[in-house]
């Protein structure tokens, strides 16, 4: 019997003392429900799950043996630390922003528990967009040129400014003119600047283990722009075949970042000439929520197999599934 603690930060009480951000709560519920469904199909798993008291009606917890309901009065991270003592393994799902995911991974490792995600060392590199850029650049991987905002040199054209550890599109702004750049630039090392590349926005859902990679699906991300910000509207999971070009990207990232382990998402921008790596997400991404429907695979089972060797990936269906994240 393996006792597993699942903590999806947004739905698990990470915002228990503030208003729940509706779009993030929806994405969190989708990922949490999919992970619980995966675990419910496995034998010898005893689940402990943290859940914000406001979301009791939104998540089916029938597969959960121990439900820790988080009220507004509780210290969520202290409760997380307390629950760690009674489990064998932990699957945290959290944003990199403000060091949240890194703190959770460090807490798990400090108690000697098994992480079912990438370790803190991987999060420290890939969760920092500038460090991730430097790592990819050192290994000759096509990646979007990135500068720290307090040291940036600007040429004419459109630019993006974003938090150095942001998750998703939060805090990212398009600066279409030099006037907008002069008005909105934040000269802080906590922000980065990138040229605004136009191209098809895709992502890879992968498994990683000590420098090896297994590409599960290639996904198409649908964005709109509102008030100079990108908004992720939907994702078509398993949008297109897994080709050698995509497999090469996953293999290159695995070699460049051998610390990565478990499920990892890679955000890409595709131009006619190049597949550019934009971000590496050392955690579950929204695309994960549709992988079972798209491919007939159980990602939780595959991740557990990584503890002992290579995963036995058997695809039983092959269809594109659209996840609507914003209406």
Q: What is the pLDDT, as a whole number, of residue 225?
A: 79
Return the pLDDT at 186: 63
d(CA 98, CA 285) in angstroms, rounded, equals 18
Angle of helix 22-40 versus helix 299-306 axis, rounded to 10: 70
Structure tokens, 71 = 């009220």
Angle separating helix axes 244-256 and 129-138, nearest 10 degrees = 110
Tens-binned pLDDT, residue by residue, of the chain (327 aa): 999 999 999 999 999 999 998 888 999 999 999 999 999 999 999 999 999 999 999 999 999 999 999 999 999 999 999 999 999 999 999 999 999 999 999 999 999 999 999 999 999 999 999 999 999 999 999 999 999 988 877 777 888 888 898 776 667 788 877 666 666 666 667 889 999 999 999 999 999 999 999 999 999 999 887 777 778 889 999 999 999 999 999 999 999 999 999 999 999 999 999 999 999 999 999 999 999 999 999 999 999 999 999 999 999 999 999 999 876
- The answer to whether the beta carbons of residues 116 and 262 sit under 8 Å apart is yes
Please tell me the predicted confidence (pLDDT) of residue 170. 67
Secondary structure of 22-52 in HEC code, one letter for each residue: HHHHHHHHHHHHHHHHHHHCCCCEEEEEEEE
């Amino acid at each position: 019997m393996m006792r597993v603690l699942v903590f999806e930060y947004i739905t698990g009480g990470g915002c228990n003392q503030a208003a729940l951000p509706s779009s993030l709560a929806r994405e969190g519920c989708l990922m949490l429900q999919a992970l619980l469904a995966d675990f419910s199909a496995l034998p010898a798993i005893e689940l402990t799950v943290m859940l914000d008291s406001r979301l009791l009606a939104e998540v089916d917890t029938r597969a959960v043996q121990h439900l820790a309901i988080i009220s507004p009065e509780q210290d969520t991270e202290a409760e997380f630390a307390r629950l760690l003592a009674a489990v064998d393994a932990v699957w945290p799902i959290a944003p990199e922003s403000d060091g949240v995911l890194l703190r959770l991974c460090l807490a798990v490792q400090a108690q000697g528990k098994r992480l079912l995600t990438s370790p803190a060392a991987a999060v420290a590199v890939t969760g920092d967009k500038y460090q991730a850029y430097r790592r990819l650049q050192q290994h000759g991987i096509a990646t979007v040129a990135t500068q720290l905002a307090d040291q940036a040199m600007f040429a004419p054209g459109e630019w993006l400014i974003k938090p150095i550890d942001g998750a998703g599109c939060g805090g990212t702004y398009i600066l279409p003119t030099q006037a907008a750049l002069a008005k909105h630039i934040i000269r802080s090392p906590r922000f980065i600047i990138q040229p605004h590349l136009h191209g098809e926005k895709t992502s890879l859902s992968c498994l990683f283990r000590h420098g090896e990679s297994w590409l599960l699906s290639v996904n198409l991300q649908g964005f709109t722009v509102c008030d100079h910000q990108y908004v992720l509207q939907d994702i078509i999971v398993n949008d297109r075949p897994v080709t050698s070009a995509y497999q090469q990207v996953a293999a290159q990232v695995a070699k460049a970042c051998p610390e990565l382990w478990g499920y990892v998402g890679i955000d890409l921008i595709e131009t006619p000439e190049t597949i550019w790596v934009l971000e590496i997400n050392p955690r579950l991404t929204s695309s994960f929520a549709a992988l079972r429907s798209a491919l007939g695979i159980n990602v939780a089972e595959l991740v557990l197999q990584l503890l002992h060797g290579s995963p036995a990936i058997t695809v039983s269906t092959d269809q594109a599934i659209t996840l609507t994240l914003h209406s």
